[in-house]
Structure 1
Amino acid sequence: MKNNSMLHPFADVQNQLQKKRQQLMLKRGYLELAKNAAIILIIVLIAFTQVFYITVSSGTDMYPAILDGDIVLGYRLDTNYLKNDVVVCEADGRRVIGRVVARGGDSVDMTEDGRLFVNGTEQTGEIAFPTNPGKQSYPYTVPDGCVYLLGDYRTNTTDSRTLGPVKVENIKAKVVSIFRRRGI
C-alpha cells in the first residue's frame, strides 16, 4: 500500500494550511469577542457616567421612602425638577438625598408647630413627621436657579433648613428607582 503522501503529494501542505486556517479563524473569533466586549464596556461606562447615577443611601434623611443602605438609581438627563421629585445632590461638601418642596421664586414658610407652606398653600402630603423650621427665618423666597429640599424624616435630617437652597447645577440626578438591600 502506498501512503497518503504518495497518493496526494500536497496532502501535508494541505493539512498545514487547514490548521493555519483554523488557528486564524479562532484568533479572529477571539478578536471579535474582545472588540464586542470593549464596545459593551464603553456603552455601560458612558451610561453610568453620563445618563444614570447610582449610589448607596446612608442615614435616615429620607426615611421611610429610602432606607439606610438602599441602592438609589438616578437619571442625570432630566433637569426639570418638579415639586415632590426626589433628587441626589452635592451640598456643603456632602451627598444629600432630598425631596424638592419649592423651586426658584417660590416662598417657603414653616410654623413652630410643624406645618409647611409653599406659596401660601399648606403642604399636607404623606410625610408622617412634623417639619421643624430649622435655622432659617421664614417666610423664605427660594433664589432663581435653586431648589429647596427637605428630607422625609423631617425631625432629624440634613436638608435646605440647615444647608440653604441647593443650586440646580449641584443636583447630580433625579431618583427614578430604589433597590432595597435587605436580604441580599
Structure 2
Amino acid sequence: MDGEGNPSQGPWGESLKSILREYAESLIIAMIIAFSLRYFVITTYYVNVQSMLPQYLQGDFIVGYKPPHGFAIPFSSEKWAIGEPIRGEVVIIQCPTDVSQHCLKRIIGIPGDRVEFQKGRLIVNGIPAEYQKIPTKGSQELWKESSLGRSRTVILADSSKEDPAPLIVPPGHVYVLGDHRKASHDSRTWGPVEVAGLEARPLMIWLSVDWEHPDSKDLFPKVRWSRLFSRLD
C-alpha cells in the first residue's frame, strides 16, 4: 500500500529547510555584527549626575565612539590604541572609584602638563585660562573658559575653597575635570586617571529625558525633543 510519505522529505520540506537555514545564518551574522559594533566601535552612556552641566544634562542618553581611544582586546585588559588624548575633548572613562561604572569628563591635561588652580581658576603649563562671563537667566553663573586654544562653557568652583596642589601629569595619564566644577568629582580629588581607562568619545545624544519635570498629563518623564540626535563636539 502506498503511503503519503514524510512531508519533510518532499519539495516543500526541502524548501522549508532552506528558508530556516538562511534565516538562522542571517540571524547569526547579525548577532556577530551587533556584538562587534558594541564591543569594538560604540558604547552607550546615561548621564545621571550634573557634573558636566551646562553642555550635558542629567537624563541624556549618549552614544560613544570607541576607536579614538583604542580597541579592547577580547579576554584581556589590554587595548590596541590608535589615537592620543587631546586637551579639551570630552571622554567617557572608567570611574577611578569604581571601574565597573563610567564617568563623563573633559581632558584638561595630557602627560607632561602642569595643572594648577588659583581661586578655582585653571592654569596649565603656567598659562592662566581666560574667562568671559556669559549672560544667562539661570541661577548658575556661566563662564567661557579658554585654555591653550580650546574653549568650553563651565560653572566655576567656589573661589573661597582651598585649591588642589599643583600637579604634573605623569606618563600614561590625563587630568580630567567636570564642566560643573562645583558638583564634579574628578582629578582634583582622584588625581590623574590612566589613559587605558578612557573608553570612548561622546558622539551624539540619542535620547534626553527630564525626570524632574514629567509631563503633567501622565507619569512619563518629559522628553527634551530639541536634544534628540544632536551631535556632540
The alignment's TM-score, normalised by the length of structure 1, stands at 0.82
CA contact (8 A) 2:109 2:115 kept: yes
Q: 3-state DSSP class of the match of 1:55?
A: strand
> Structure 1 regions of 5+ residues with no counterpart?
1-11
Give the corresponding residue for 1:8.
none
Change in CA separation of 1:142 and 1:153 when aligned onto 2, cut-off 3 Å = same
Does the Cα contact within 8 Å between 1:134 and 1:161 map onto a contact in 2? no
Greater share of strand: 2
Does the alignment pair 1:165 with 2:192? yes
- Cα distance, 1:85–1:126 mapped onto 2, change above 3 Å: closer
Which residue of structure 2 aligns with residue 115 of structure 1? 121
Measured after TM superposition, the shift of residue 126 of structure 1 is: 3.1
CA pair 135-96 structure 1, distance change in 2 beyond 3 A: farther
Which residue does 1:102 correspond to in 2? 109
Instruction: Find the counterpart in structure 2 of residue 34 from structure 1.
Output: 24
Instruction: Tell which has more relative contact order, 1 or 2 (C-alpha 8 A, sep 6+).
Output: 1
2:204 equivalent to 1:177: yes
Distance in 1, matches of 2:157 and 2:110, equals 18
Q: Tell me, yes or no, if the aligned pair for 2:116 and 2:164 is still in contact at 8 Å.
A: no
Query: Residues 134 and 162 of structure 1 are in contact (CA less than 8 Å); yes or no, is this contact kept in structure 2?
Result: no
Structure 1 residue aligned with 2:172, among 145, 158, 161?
A: 145
Counterpart secondary structure, 2:10: helix
SS of residue in 1 equivalent to 2:93: strand
**Mapping 1:82-93, distance limit 5 Å:** 82-90=86-94, 91-93=96-98
- Determine the C-alpha separation between the residues in 2 that align with 1:177 and 1:119: 32
Higher helix share: 1
1:76 aligns with 2:66: yes
**What's the secondary structure of 2:67's corresponding residue?**
coil
Cα drift, residue 175 of structure 1: 1.8
Contact 2:53–2:154 (CA under 8 A) maintained in structure 1:
no
**Secondary structure of 1:22's match?**
helix
Distance 2:206 2:126 in 1: 36
TM-score of the pair, normalised by structure 2: 0.66
Seq. identity, % = 27
Query: What's the secondary structure of 1:180's corresponding residue?
Result: strand
Counterpart CA distance in 1 for 2:178 and 2:38 is 25
The farther-off stretch of 118-127 and 129-138 is 129-138
Deviation at 1:135, TM superposition (A): 6.4
Tell whether the 8 Å contact from 1:102 to 1:142 is kept in structure 2 after alignment.
yes
Rounded to whole Å, the distance in 2 between the matches of 1:102 and 1:131 is 18
CA distance in 2, matches of 1:131, 1:121: 19
Structure 1 range deviating more: 100-109 or 64-73: 64-73
In structure 2, the residue matched to 1:130 is: 156
Q: Which amino acid aligns with 2:204?
A: S
Instruction: Supply the AA of the counterpart residue of 2:65.
Output: Y
